[in-house]
Amino acid sequence: MLARTSDPIIAIATAPGRGAVGIVRISGPQMAPLIAAVCGRPLKAREATYLPFRDAKGVPVDHGLAIHFPAPHSFTGEDVLELQAHGGPVVLQLLLARCLEAAAEFDVASGRARLPGLRVAEPGEFSQRAFLNGKIDLAQAEAIADLIDASTEAAARSAGRSLSGAFSQEIHGLLDALVRLRMLVEATLDFPDEEIDFLQEADAIGQLAELKTQLGAVQNRARQGALLREGIKVVIAGQPNAGKSSLLNALAGAELAIVSSVAGTTRDVVSETIQIHGVPLHVVDTAGLRESIDEVEQIGIARAWGQIEGADAVLFLHDLTRTALPDYAQADAEITRDLEDRLPTGVPVIDIWSKLDAAATAAPSTGVSLSAKTGFGIEALRTRLLEVAGWQAVPEGVYLARARHVQALTRVEQHIDIAAEHLAERAQSLDLLAEELRLAQNALNEITGEFGADDLLGVIFSRFCIGK
């Protein structure tokens, strides 16, 4: 795709299907000849004009609004033309075909085609143009897709903050602090005979400590943003007829899974995404775990273990009406051992004591006691799930982030920690200190896609009077 970024591109910018309005969008250079052919007149910049969209014979294909955004003041940074027509699929395809046809037609005034090389855009190419032309950074480009795909109101609001640049501004603040430190270290390395100790006078140790504090705050908000976007996968596990399907229905607030007193009713995976304070939780109900000679049930149990092994958290249901039975207690103990053996390190298992309404015995103090039938304990479970996910009640300060952003920030933290160790050793480790700061900056660059290596030289030469 990168090799074709000079081509003008066109696409239907609205979702497939019928609607009141549909948009055809074009981005490229020197749009005036195409505008004249399709719209029949020049357009004022950034002003919606109602007019007919004409075919090659001058017959209207449709009537609608045309808006011209001259470069560089457009989403892509190129000339952009938006044609807002009626939202029928056939109408939009006719309009797209007419634009492609008009682009290839010979223009007498310019002595060439009206818009040579116009082609249908590839997925995401308009946003890619915006990034390549410096209109948005990588984090903002990802926020566009996240805003479209947001499954909760909180996720949509957070994606909007990321798109407006809130996350990128935080990263730029970290970069500025990191660059100041790199300048001090590079200056000390370049002028080792100077009497002035750049690092000491500029309080490099204090600057590095402040940088780490700022990084911790950004990491916290990024983790919350990643939770809003990704959510967590919660798998309900336990013996047959322990109340797993009833719990899924209670959490979802709908009858999603078949509930029956017959053991082994659930034979396949049933999943549903629910929201808890705007955080998406992907809840999976599985077949009851037991020894079985039924071939179909064996497949369901194997799939259940597959889901469990890929979970972010497991709800292990214990039927309070049967926990006193020796066979049932032994089977629960075997499942506990299997969970310990098969789950990755760090995956939490929450013990759920179910059927509290029908139990004759008290539930243990550990875990969560509940009744899916009456709803008692369901809210406590929701709270516990948010705790396990690591969610904190700071929705207004959260911007939507991705797992790769969190991972990049973790690498920055690791490099800064090592840099602090080298800084404490002073001159003996300045080269290593400089390298760790460079690696920390590279990790930050992965988030926004900005600030190349040569930029550091420009900052150094502009802020230090080196040529004395």
Q: Quick one: 202 exposed, middle or buried, by C-beta within 10 A (0-12, 13-18, 19+)?
A: middle
- The backbone torsions φ and ψ at residue 203, rounded to the nearest 5 degrees and listed phi first, read 55, 55
Is 32 annotated as contributing to ligand binding?
Answer: no
| Chain position carrying tokens 């549909």 | 22
Q: How far is CA 384 from CA 350, 389, 414, in A?
A: 9, 9, 30
If you count DSSP H runs as helices and E runs as strands, how many of each does the chain have, helices first? 15, 14
Annotated binding-site residue? 150: no
288 is annotated as contributing to ligand binding: yes
Q: Does residue 25 have a known ligand-binding role?
A: yes
Is 264 labelled a binding residue?
A: yes
135 in a known ligand binding site? yes
> Which positions ≥6 away from 468 have C-beta within 8 Å?
none
Residues ≥6 apart with Cβ < 8 Å to 331: 239, 290
266 assigned ligand-binding residue: yes
Buried b (16+ CB within 10 A) or exposed e, 92-102: bebbbebbeeb
Helix (H, G, I), strand (E, B) or coil at 309: helix
- Residue 124 is assigned to a ligand binding site: no
Tokens read off for 329: 């207690």
DSSP secondary structure of 71-113: TTSSSSSSEEEEEEEEE-HHHHHHHHHHHHHHHHSEETTTTEE
**Helix 204-230 and helix 166-190, axial crossing angle in degrees, nearest 10:** 150
Answer yes or no: is 374 a known binding residue.
no
Residue 207 to residue 275: CA distance in whole angstroms: 41
CB 159 within 8 A of CB 400: yes
State which H helix or E strand residue 237 sits in.
Answer: strand 232-238
Q: Is 468 annotated as a binding residue?
A: yes
Residue 355 is assigned to a ligand binding site? no
User: Would you say 383 is a known binding-site residue?
Assistant: no
213 labelled ligand-binding: no
Rounded CA-CA distance 254/247 in Å is 10
246 is in an annotated binding site: yes
- At residue 279, the 3 state secondary structure works out as strand
The annotation status of 265 as a binding-site residue, yes or no, is yes
Binding-site sequence positions for (6S)-5-formyl-5,6,7,8-tetrahydrofolate: 25, 82, 135, 468
Binding-site sequence positions for Mg(2+): 245, 266
Binding-site sequence positions: 25, 82, 135, 241-246, 260-266, 285-288, 468
Binding-site sequence positions for K(+): 241, 260, 262, 265
Binding-site sequence positions for GTP: 241-246, 260-266, 285-288
